[in-house]
Amino acid sequence: MLVIDTSFPSTGFNERNGEPVRQVILHYTAAPFKSSLHTLTHDGVSAHYLLPDPDEPSYRRAGYDELRVFHLVDEDKRAWHAGVSHWLGRDNLNSRSIGIEIVNLARDDQGVFSFPAYSQEQVVVLIDLLRDILARYPQIGPTDILGHSDVAYWRKRDPGPRFPWQDLYEAGVGAWFDESTRAMYQRRFCVALPPEVEVERAFQRYGYKPAQNRQAFEQRTRAFQMHFRSRDDCGFLDAQTCAILYALNERYRGI
Ligand SMILES: [Zn+2]
């Protein structure tokens, strides 16, 4: 059962100015529960929800009986979690999204990343929370459940390659590709990859921001791989990555 705790409201929000909610953006905190709760309620960043890790010491010490979700900002207010971001031709997604911060102690040691797994209990509660949100916003489609790295690939890696996107999809939340469509495209692309200009269009059609240069192209490829092929997020455009992208577009964008 979903337990929502509203006892720590955040000061970090403003008005949505009439923009409809269209996306849910998932983040990791890269910090323990206690300091994350403080940051997200006092500083210039916030999110609508904070989901702790039940095994993380600062949450265990807080003494709650169950894994609860902290509701920090009302959904009809604009929280400050996405920053400079882009999806499907729109910028600055804070106005149009609900942000969920998930406690996970990922680390970035000067570009050397480590990504701990998410706890099973955390994933179960997250799925409950997302189902709860989706029931209230029927306009949020499968391809609108996104990672921060999808909408800000040039500067963000969260929720990281250990995030279980496929488990969410199998629970009815978010997008995934059809396996036989992927295999069909992959047989074709093993012979020759599509021209890069076509791949660029395919990324944009799915929702990603246009890549302005080679570095951005690789960053976006890596972000896409973290989401849909996380066992190898090399950032190199290969036949399988292209095949997944084309299979997703065929399923969700009608081409
Ligand atoms: Zn983030």
Give the domain extent around 34.
4-170
Residues annotated catalytic, as ranges: 101
* Shared-domain flag, residues 205 and 155: no
- For residue 139, the domain's CATH number is 3.40.80.10
Neighbours of ion ligand 1 (CB under 5 A): 27, 148, 158
Terminal-to-terminal C-alpha distance of the chain: 39
Mention every residue, 6+ apart, whose C-beta is less than 8 A from residue 86.
Answer: 93, 151, 152, 208, 209
* Shared-domain flag, residues 119 and 70: yes
pLDDT tens for 34-44 read 999 999 999 89
* Shared-domain flag, residues 48 and 135: yes
* Domain end call among 112, 138, 170: 170
* Domain end call among 121, 152, 170: 170
Q: Phi and psi dihedrals of 247, rounded to 5?
A: -65, -40
* Shared-domain flag, residues 160 and 187: no
* Shared-domain flag, residues 214 and 241: yes
Find the 94 Cα to ligand 1 centroid distance in Å.
12
Q: Phi and psi dihedrals of 92, rounded to 5?
A: 50, 70
Find the 25 Cα to ligand 1 centroid distance in Å.
8
* Shared-domain flag, residues 28 and 145: yes
* Shared-domain flag, residues 110 and 58: yes
* Shared-domain flag, residues 90 and 147: yes
What is the residue-level pLDDT of the chain in tens, covering all 255 positions? 899 999 999 999 999 988 899 999 999 999 999 999 999 999 899 999 999 999 999 999 999 999 999 999 999 999 999 999 999 999 999 999 999 999 999 999 988 999 999 999 999 999 999 999 999 999 999 999 999 999 999 999 999 999 999 999 999 999 999 999 999 999 999 999 999 999 999 999 999 999 999 999 999 999 999 999 999 999 999 999 999 999 999 999 997
The neighbour count for residue 187, using CB atoms within 10 Å, is 11
Find the 195 Cα to ligand 1 centroid distance in Å.
32
pLDDT tens for 144-201 read 999 999 999 999 999 999 999 999 999 999 999 999 999 999 999 999 999 999 999 9
Please report the DSSP string for 48-99 in residue order. Answer: SEEE--TTSHHHHHHT-SS--EEE-S-TTEEES-S-S-EETTEE-GGGGEEE
Q: State the residue for tokens 């979700």.
A: 69
Mention every residue, 6+ apart, whose C-beta is less than 8 A from residue 117.
Answer: 162
* Shared-domain flag, residues 56 and 157: yes
Find the 152 Cα to ligand 1 centroid distance in Å.
9
Find the 149 Cα to ligand 1 centroid distance in Å.
7
- The rounded distance, in Å, linking the Cα atoms of 139 and 157 is 26
- The rounded distance, in Å, linking the Cα atoms of 255 and 244 is 13
- For residue 188, the domain's CATH number is 1.10.101.10
* Domain end call among 170, 197, 219: 170
Q: Is 15 helix (H, G, I), strand (E, B) or coil?
A: strand
How many structural domains comprise the chain? 2
